[in-house]
């Protein structure tokens, strides 16, 4: 059976047995691509599709379904997002059924996403059921930190000018945050009034503060799905910022977010022997 037929069979089985209330997968969209699809009964499972237009990270939706049983169709990056949420105790493992799919690499307007070219995974690291045949990806090592090395080669003044020019066109719609599986605070710092962290102006200084603080909050937590960059209506290269920080975390702690739900996240861990840098 094909991968999608396996997804249909598994989804039907889970809904019929009432093991889950809902299956979140991909369905056909209106503009030639796909879109997230919520299936609540076995009669809807045939509408589930999976192809190279299925760019969305469906793990985000699990945050809206706390306490309810949900099966979710997961590509490799999306499965890492589920692991991130598990490691941060945002969702319960026994409420989530992970239907893994082997990802062909996602295309946008017929071209492979940069994200997918540098992704070392076609098969999810975690799943309850794998619908396809496991596959290794061929990764272009040069692409892994594409743009990061160039950014590191810039002087501080050049870097500042580069990011100022990018953040200048930010309209603070917060789509990057809304789509991000790692952004789930009840009250985001940017909307907090007391204390006021960032003013409401959509202007260079505030835009820079917003984008920089969001990047720091994601450090060691970004799973590299690049949904933020995909949805940004003004094309800010947010992935570049996140990959720079992930590179730092990897080089310092050897940690990659979402690879292992049991691994302790570096910024949520304290070891007694760690130096606090207070000259002790």
Q: Which residues bind another protein (CB under 8 A)?
A: 29-31, 33-38, 56, 60-61, 64, 166, 169, 171-175, 178-179, 191, 199-203, 227, 230-231, 233-235
Choice between 119 and 170, CB closer to another protein: 170
Buried-state track 38-69, b at ≥16 Cβ within 10 A, e below 16: ebeebebbeebbbebbbbbbbbbbbeebeeeb
Nearer to another protein, 139 or 169 (CB): 169
Q: How far is the CB of 249 from another protein (least distance, A)?
A: 26
User: Whole-number minimum distance, CB 109 to another protein, in Å?
Assistant: 12
Q: Scanning the structure block, which residue is given the tokens 């969305």?
A: 56
- Please state the closest distance from residue 178 (CB atom) to another protein, in A: 4
Question: For another protein, which is the closer residue by CB, 60 or 122?
Answer: 60
How far is the first Cα of the chain from the last one, in angstroms, to the nearest whole number?
Answer: 63
Least Cβ distance, residue 115 to another protein (angstroms): 14
Q: How far apart are CA 37 and CA 174, in angstroms?
A: 23
Residues 6+ apart with CB under 8 A from 103: 75, 76, 77, 116, 119, 121, 122, 123
**Which of residues 171 and 264 has its CB atom nearest to another protein in the complex?**
171
**Residue closer to another protein (CB basis): 20 or 249:** 20
CB of 90 to another protein, least distance (A): 17
Cα(11)–Cα(21) distance, rounded to whole angstroms? 11
| 125-144: burial string, b at 16+ Cβ within 10 Å, e else | bbbebbbbeeeebeeeeeee
Helices (H), the chain: 3-16, 76-87, 114-117, 141-144, 148-153, 156-167, 175-179, 204-218, 227-231, 238-253
- For residue 254, report the phi and psi dihedrals to the nearest 5 degrees: 65, 30
Q: From the CB of 101, what's the least distance to another protein, in Å?
A: 18
Cβ proximity to another protein, 202 vs 264, nearer residue:
202
Nearest approach, Cβ of 235 to another protein (angstroms)?
5
In a 10 Å sphere around its CB, with 0-12 CB exposed, 13-18 middle and 19+ buried, how is residue 219 labelled?
middle
Closer residue to another protein in complex, CB, 72/137: 72
């Amino acid at each position: 059976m094909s991968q999608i037929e396996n997804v249909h069979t598994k989804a039907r089985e889970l809904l019929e047995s009432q093991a889950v209330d809902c299956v979140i997968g991909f369905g056909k969209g209106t503009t030639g691509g796909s879109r997230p699809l919520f299936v609540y009964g076995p009669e809807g499972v045939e509408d589930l599709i999976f192809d190279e237009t299925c760019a969305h990270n469906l793990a985000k939706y699990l945050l809206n379904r706390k306490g309810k049983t949900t099966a979710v169709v997961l590509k490799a990056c999306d499965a890492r997002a589920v692991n991130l949420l598990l490691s941060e105790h945002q969702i319960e493992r026994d409420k989530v059924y992970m239907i893994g799919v082997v990802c062909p690499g996602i295309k946008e307007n017929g071209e492979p996403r940069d994200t997918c070219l540098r992704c070392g995974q076609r098969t999810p690291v975690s799943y309850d059921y794998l619908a396809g045949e496991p596959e290794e990806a061929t990764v272009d090592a040069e692409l892994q930190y594409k743009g990061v090395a160039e950014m590191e080669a810039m002087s501080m003044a050049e870097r500042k000018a580069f990011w100022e020019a990018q953040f200048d066109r930010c309209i603070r719609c917060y789509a990057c945050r809304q789509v991000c599986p790692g952004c789930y605070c009840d009250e985001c710092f940017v909307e907090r009034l007391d204390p006021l962290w960032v003013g409401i102006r959509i202007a260079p200084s505030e835009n820079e503060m917003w984008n920089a603080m969001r990047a720091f909050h994601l450090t060691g937590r970004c799973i590299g799905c690049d949904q933020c960059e995909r949805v940004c209506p003004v094309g800010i290269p947010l992935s570049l910022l996140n990959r720079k920080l992930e590179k730092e975390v990897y080089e310092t702690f050897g940690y990659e977010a979402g690879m292992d739900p049991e691994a302790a996240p570096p910024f949520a861990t304290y070891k007694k022997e760690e130096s606090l840098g207070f000259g002790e």
